């Protein structure tokens, strides 16, 4: 597919720190750029091992989240020690700059943006091999990107983490998962919690099909029963610098992106289902899914995805990640580090 946009690169070097060893010198990168595509400028931070010829592009979740806070989590320390890591914010998300047109807030355009980021990574990052790591919504975006055979040639492999590739059926499974949790709490006959969870059940009776307008309330209910992050005690962080921006921009983007993002002209929440096309993905894939995920429940969704992916090189170990929900790379990061590095090294 021919690109409809031309990349213009604005460069901001945050830091380039050199660590000396007895025998070799390792250069740790921390460079910050803006990649201009049309009327928007996507923030891109290249970090990690400057000597590596391999890059991992993190495709963040949301929609409307940011990748710029990611590297503070402990998981990325080992990944950056081995590879270059690219943290970029999607159109209309996080620290994105410029004029974002609602008409461009489409999965199709997001895929073209990702293609530009990959080209940028290879040219400016000086790498010859690129992997994608897409989590939740980012996993859906990465999956859609890989449906294109031209795109597949640019990527050595992809880690898909609890991907929201089927929001149509996934949202119904999420409602059922949450309703079951509500029933279990109501059965305890606690006069304080009962009204809240009865209201939860009533909400889904009134909203049997989740739309973009229900997204925030659905997340609130899920957070009450650890359906998005379960093992928070293990989500350790390290001190890292972050780009400067007005905090209200982050909140505005967090609300804006899910409210306008579309697939084939319709809201992703009611129309996104890539199941029938997953057989077109021939790229090596590692699928990782948290057993406690209530947003996109692992039961049905994980096995259905791995069964339908067309690649002959695909892996999903369903007995792993038993104590994490939607974010295994943060909640069970020690295990995820091992699996991710093994996947990268084997490809």
Q: Is the pLDDT of residue 18 over 50?
A: no
Q: Is the pLDDT of residue 3 over 90?
A: no
pLDDT tens digits for range 261-320: 999 999 999 999 999 999 999 999 999 999 999 999 999 999 999 999 999 999 998 999
Mean local confidence (pLDDT), 62-89: 96
* pLDDT given for residue 305 in this prediction: 98
Query: pTM of the prediction?
Result: 0.92
Q: Count the residues in the chain.
A: 347
The mean predicted confidence, pLDDT, of the chain is 91
* pLDDT given for residue 243 in this prediction: 73
Which whole-number Å values give the CA distances from 11 to 8, 15, 31, 67, 126, in the listed order?
10, 12, 8, 18, 15
Closest CA to 260 of 26, 102, 28, 125: 102
pLDDT tens digits for range 23-67: 445 579 999 999 999 999 999 999 999 999 999 999 999 999 999
Mean local confidence (pLDDT), 173-183: 96
60 Cβ neighbours under 8 A, 6+ residues apart: 66, 67, 70, 87, 89, 90, 93, 94, 135, 137, 138
Token pair recorded at residue 205: 């009776």
* pLDDT given for residue 241 in this prediction: 75
* pLDDT given for residue 11 in this prediction: 53
Token pair recorded at residue 187: 């059965």
DSSP string, 11-72: EEEEEEEEEE-SS-EEEEEEEEEEEEETTEEEEEEEEEETT-SEEEEEE--TTT--STTGGG
Q: Across-strand partners of 54? A: 129
Which homologous superfamily is 7-171+226-346 in?
Alpha/Beta hydrolase fold, catalytic domain (3.40.50.1820)
Sorted by where each begins, the domain ranges of the chain are 7-171+226-346
* pLDDT given for residue 294 in this prediction: 97
């Amino acid at each position: 597919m021919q690109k409809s946009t031309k990349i213009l690169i604005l460069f901001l070097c945050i830091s380039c720190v050199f660590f000396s060893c007895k025998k070799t010198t390792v250069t740790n990168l921390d460079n910050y750029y803006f990649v201009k595509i049309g009327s928007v400028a996507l923030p891109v931070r290249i970090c990690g091992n400057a000597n590596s010829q391999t890059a991992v592009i993190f495709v963040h979740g949301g929609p409307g989240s940011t990748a710029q806070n990611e590297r503070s989590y402990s998981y990325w320390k080992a990944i950056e020690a081995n590879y270059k890591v690219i943290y970029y914010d999607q159109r209309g998300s996080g620290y994105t700059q410029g004029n974002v047109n609602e008409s461009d807030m489409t999965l199709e355009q997001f895929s073209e943006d990702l293609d530009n980021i990959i080209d940028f990574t290879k040219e400016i990052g000086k790498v010859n091999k690129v992997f994608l790591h897409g989590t939740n919504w980012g996993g859906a975006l990465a999956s859609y990107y890989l449906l294109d055979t031209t795109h597949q040639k640019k990527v050595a492999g992809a880690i898909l983490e609890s991907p929201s590739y089927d929001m149509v059926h996934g949202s119904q499974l999420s409602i059922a998962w949450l309703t079951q949790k509500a029933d279990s709490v109501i059965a305890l006959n606690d006069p304080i919690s009962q009204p809240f969870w009865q209201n939860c059940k009533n909400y889904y009776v009134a909203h049997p099909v989740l739309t973009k307008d229900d997204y925030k309330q659905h997340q609130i209910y899920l957070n009450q029963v650890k359906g998005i992050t379960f093992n928070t005690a293990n989500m350790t962080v390290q001190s890292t610098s972050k780009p400067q921006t007005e905090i209200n921009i982050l909140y505005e983007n967090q609300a804006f992106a899910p409210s306008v993002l579309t697939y084939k002209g319709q809201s992703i929440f009611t129309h996104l289902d890539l199941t029938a096309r997953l057989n077109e993905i021939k790229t090596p894939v590692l699928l990782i899914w948290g057993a406690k995920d209530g947003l996109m429940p692992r039961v049905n969704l994980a096995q259905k995805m791995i069964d339908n992916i067309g690649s002959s090189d695909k892996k999903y170990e369903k007995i792993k990640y038993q104590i994490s929900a939607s974010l295994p790379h943060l909640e069970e990061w020690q295990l995820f580090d091992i699996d991710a590095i093994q996947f990268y090294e084997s490809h």
